Chains A and B, each alone.
Chain A
């Protein structure tokens, strides 16, 4: 899965010469928390978050007797480029969704502008987009049942189970696999589009695999 498929393609940007007041209005109007700053030819030159704006007005905020008008005045006469973050963490159009997830996590950021090979803003991907992709990958909310199977950590286990499920003419809506608490084993998590998992479970067990009992694994 690539970033391109999950990013928002219509990105609201702002010019570096615009005022913080304009930036704040745009953010409020679009219900977003950050704006990529695009210079000439749409090239990404920085990013501005609503936190940057809040911090810029802080000096006025703590002045005794300062008014809302004075804060607005300050916002109006301060250019975006004076406050924006210039060193932007970005994703590129060829990055994978995994790249984006790691970047968002490791750099502790909420949004990742996506740039093309000329450095122009082509999209933006946020933590929310990534979570949504993960919800879909897990099959949450799809009409289905859950199966957790423990297999030896060597090739072939998953294939065997999938063919058992296929034998029941049941759709698999999600598969995930992770290491198991016990060394040398893996857990495979399936969501299957059936209410009647009993014959599935029995056949999988008869084939020599362990089905995790959910009343034990939630504790």
Chain B
């Protein structure tokens, strides 16, 4: 069994919408309760998220956006845009703690304290770009952690696998011109699903040309098509890039039961994907995997998928 860190803090439940919203605290609560009641949590090493320094966030986000977000929360604004990206008075603080959770997980893996980590954080991050949050995301947790690893642990090459059903447009734009962070995103085709980006010819820009891969999937596709994409696109990319660590933007909204999208991945599909990424990490970067929760909005399938994901990280 691998040493696997589990990042969680009950304060993550304090970011809550003033109206009915799919990205609710109950998602995380259900995950934690399920992992605890099944004894899975006991097999993991608890890791406390830390509040990041402002400089940790500023490696990714505009100072202007940070101030705007903080002020909006203090004023009591209820959303950042329409009703997608809601805010409450705690949201700024909890968004920091969410990014801090990804940092804490990454740190534990980088120092060898654990071999892998699952960061059960919210709000999610992968739609947030340098200048603004969107699509339920305030700060880009994975991007902040990737930059932290580079700045504090001398890691030069980070590989991000984003299997949330929505394209990780924020993460892509942050690293678009950066050859040191590889961004691989598999998602429902942008003609059908938010955010409408992530077409197959978006492959990076300038110095970063070739270190972005998008695998858009047609509505109705599932485990089999995902397996092919992992074997034919992800594996060669990892082999070429030779990362020192692999991060996962782990959304579970590609599940067939999830109401927000039209992809038919099953819990077994998440087992396959997790195992596949872990095996790549074993071969190329000493098994180092940092998984950070993104979306997943149908509670039973979310909970079941996360449990399988974590068990595969544990290797049991």
Q: Mark B10-46, 1 if CB is under 8 A from A, else 0.
A: 0000000000111000000000000000000000000
- Among A142, A146, A216, the residue within 8 A (CB) of B193 is A146
When distances are taken between beta carbons in the complex, the residues of chain A under 8 Å from B169 are 143
Q: In the complex, what residues of B have CB within 8 A of residue A140's CB?
A: 196
Q: How many residues does chain B have at the interface if contact means C-beta atoms less than 8 Å apart?
A: 27
Kindly list 15 other residue pairs between chains A and B, CB separation below 8 angstroms, not including A142-B196, A143-B195, A198-B22. A143-B196, A144-B194, A144-B195, A145-B195, A146-B193, A169-B82, A191-B196, A194-B83, A194-B194, A196-B21, A196-B83, A196-B84, A214-B220, A214-B262, A218-B219
For A199, the chain B residues whose CB sits under 8 A away are 20
A134 interface residue per 8 A CB criterion: no
How far is it, in angstroms, between the C-alpha of A124 and the C-alpha of B170 when the chains are bound? 37
CB within 8 Å of B: which of A181-219?
191, 193-199, 213-216, 218-219
A139 is an interface residue with CB less than 8 A from chain B: yes
Instruction: Say if the beta carbon of A168 comes within 8 Å of chain B.
Output: yes
Q: Which residues of A contact B193 (CB under 8 A)?
A: 145-146
| B127 contacts partner chain A, Cβ-Cβ < 8 Å | yes
Interface residues of B (CB under 8 A from A): 20-22, 81-84, 127, 134-136, 166, 169, 191-197, 218-220, 259-260, 262, 264
Task: Sample 9 A-B pairs with CB under 8 A, ordered by A number.
Answer: A144-B195, A169-B83, A191-B196, A193-B81, A196-B84, A198-B22, A215-B262, A218-B220, A219-B220
A141 at the interface (CB under 8 A from B): yes
Q: How far is the CA of A144 from the CA of B219 in the complex (A)?
A: 16
- Is A103's beta carbon under 8 Å from chain B? no
A27 on the B face (CB < 8 A):
no
Check if A198 sits within 8 Å of B259, measured CB to CB.
yes
Chain A residues with CB under 8 A of B218 = 215, 218
Say yes or no: B262 contacts A194, CB within 8 Å.
Answer: no
Interface residues of A (CB under 8 A from B): 139-146, 168-171, 191, 193-199, 213-216, 218-219
- In the complex, what residue of chain A is closest to B166 when comparing beta carbons? A195
Report the nearest A residue to B132, measured CB to CB: A143
- Whether the pair A195, B262 counts as a contact (CB closer than 8 A) is no
The count of A-to-B residue pairs whose CB atoms sit within 8 angstroms is 74
B260 touches A195 (CB 8 A): yes
Give the docked Cα–Cα distance between A201 and B83 (Å): 15
B133 CB → nearest A CB, Å: 12
Say how far A197's CB is from chain B's closest CB, in angstroms.
7
Q: How far is A139 from B196 in the complex, measured between Cα atoms in Å?
A: 9
> What is the distance, in angstroms, from B224's C-beta to the closest C-beta of chain A?
14
Q: A195-B260, A215-B219, A215-B220 are in contact. Are A146 and B192 (CB under 8 A)?
A: yes
What residues of B have a CB within 8 angstroms of the CB of A193 in the complex? 81-82
8 Å CB contact of A195 from B20, B194, B197: B194
Which residue of chain B has the shortest Cβ distance to A215 in the bound complex? Answer: B220
A-chain residues with CB within 8 Å of residue B195 when the two chains form the complex = 143-145, 195
Q: How far is the CA of A185 from the CA of B123 in the complex (A)?
A: 42
B86 to chain A, nearest CB (A): 10
Minimal beta-carbon separation of B45 from chain A (angstroms):
34
Bound: A171/B194 CA distance, A? 14
Which residue of A144, A193, A196 has the most chain B CB atoms within 10 A of its CB atom?
Answer: A196
- Report the bound CA distance from A143 to B83 in whole Å: 14
How far is the CB of B274 from the nearest CB of chain A, in Å?
Answer: 25
Cβ 8 A contact of B260, one of A143, A191, A196, A216: A196
Q: Which residue of A lies closest to B169 (CB)?
A: A143
Q: How far is B19's CA from A169's CA once the two chains are assembled, in angstroms?
A: 13
Whole-angstrom CA separation of A191 from B192 in the bound complex: 9
| CB–CB B192/A143 < 8 A | no
- Known contacts A143-B134, A143-B197, A198-B22; is-contact A214 B260 (Cβ 8 Å): no
By a CB distance below 8 angstroms, the chain A residues around B264 are 215
* Bound: A169/B134 CA distance, A: 15
Bound state CA distance, A194 and B86, in angstroms? 12
What's the nearest-Cβ distance from chain B to residue A35, in Å? 31
A218-B219, A218-B220 given; A195·B196 CB < 8 A: no
Given contacts A145-B196, A198-B259, contact A171 B82 (CB under 8 A): yes
Contact across chains for A141 and B262 when beta carbons are under 8 A apart? no
